[in-house]
Amino acid sequence: MTEQVAIAIRELTFSQAINEAIRLEMRRDPNVIVMGEDIAGAAGRAHLGMVDAWGGTLRATRGLITEFGAQRVLDTPISEMGFVGAAVGAAMTGLRPIVEIMFVDLIGCCFDQLLNQASKMHYMTGGQVAVPMVLRLPYGTRGSNLQNYGGGAGAQHSQTLYSLLAHIPGLKVVVPSTAYQAKGLMISAVRDGGPVVVMEHKFLGSAAKGNVPEDSYTIPIGQAEIVRTGHDITLCAIGRMTHLCLEVASELAADGISAEVIDVLTLAPLDEATILDSVKRTHRLVVVDEDTPTASMARDIAARVAEKAFDWLDAPIKIVTAPETPVPFAAVLEKLYVPTSAQVRCAARELVA
């Protein structure tokens, strides 16, 4: 008789899944540490008994200092150059730092540490030095589909800059879109032998709830996921845009159009094979990316498909992205900035027609 093993599954938010992944890895490996601004509660609030009241931008580190203490959960000064550089050095000595930067927009303050140090140290030392660190970067803006979740962070705190990081050889870049993916990819990132960037959409933090197993599990880095099968057109999405494409796919189905939806998940290394195989079945492609179009992941994916699957295409590739402009502060303009379901639906119908 086969023994049945029950796996406890509960509904968690995206941020709770990240928190659980970090907590499990800190329990498993004493070399895992966490660094960042306000990740344990600002020192100025400590005397009010509010040490755990903050927990970082997405509240994903809340409660960690209570369990692991200030030696492993390090509230840093407001100096991205300093604490990211310290994390690179710590990783080189055998620790596994998880670093949170409040907004991806602030990578300009520590870009040299990523561009010239973390990403290249293993290569420059002939494989003698590893840099096993994770960089957590909240990104994105509200758009019209999440109007009840705040926004209005302005042009310097609302960008989608993962293409900058995916461009750098030596960095791995993952972009989960669900709570289940967030936990599995975070655990994989912590256990990876090199620097991994985990992009977390600010407005998935509390909005993206899903079933997540209690036990530890991993999701392979470098592998896309087909989240809906179809045969008329492929919708290739990144991060929060996956939810948008699933919504559009349901609408298209009502019109008799069968859309396949791919969640890219990893931008570097990109899973070309899954995307190409899908296009060879559907013969049409729309890439949906919250970033601006120039030098974007949308254009990169479109170029790869045009190069390697041109003979299978029955229509031009279309991309749906944000406009070539800074993110507006005004709510009425911010709602128009992010790709909408109407734009994706229109692009898909044009190709199928």
pLDDT by residue for the chain (353 residues), tens digit each?
445 545 677 899 999 999 999 999 999 999 999 999 999 865 435 544 545 556 877 889 999 999 999 999 999 999 999 999 999 999 999 999 999 999 999 999 999 999 999 999 999 999 999 999 999 999 998 765 544 445 678 899 999 999 999 999 999 999 999 999 999 999 999 999 999 999 999 988 777 889 999 999 999 999 999 999 999 999 999 999 999 999 999 999 999 999 999 999 999 999 999 999 999 999 999 999 999 999 999 999 999 999 999 999 999 999 999 999 999 998 888 888 999 999 999 999 999 98
240/244 Cα distance (integer angstroms): 7
Alpha carbon 70 to its chain centroid, in Å, reads: 27
| pTM reported for the whole predicted model | 0.92
Token pair of 290 as six digits: 């919250």
Residues 6+ apart with CB under 8 A from 63: 19, 23, 52, 55
Closest to 96 (Cα-Cα) out of 29, 37, 169, 28: 29
Q: Is 283 tagged catalytic? A: no
If phi over 0 gives left and psi between -120 and 50 gives alpha, with beta otherwise, what is residue 6?
A: beta
Query: Which of the following is catalytic: 47, 122, 157, 243?
Result: 157
Nearest to 80 by CA among 121, 31, 135: 135
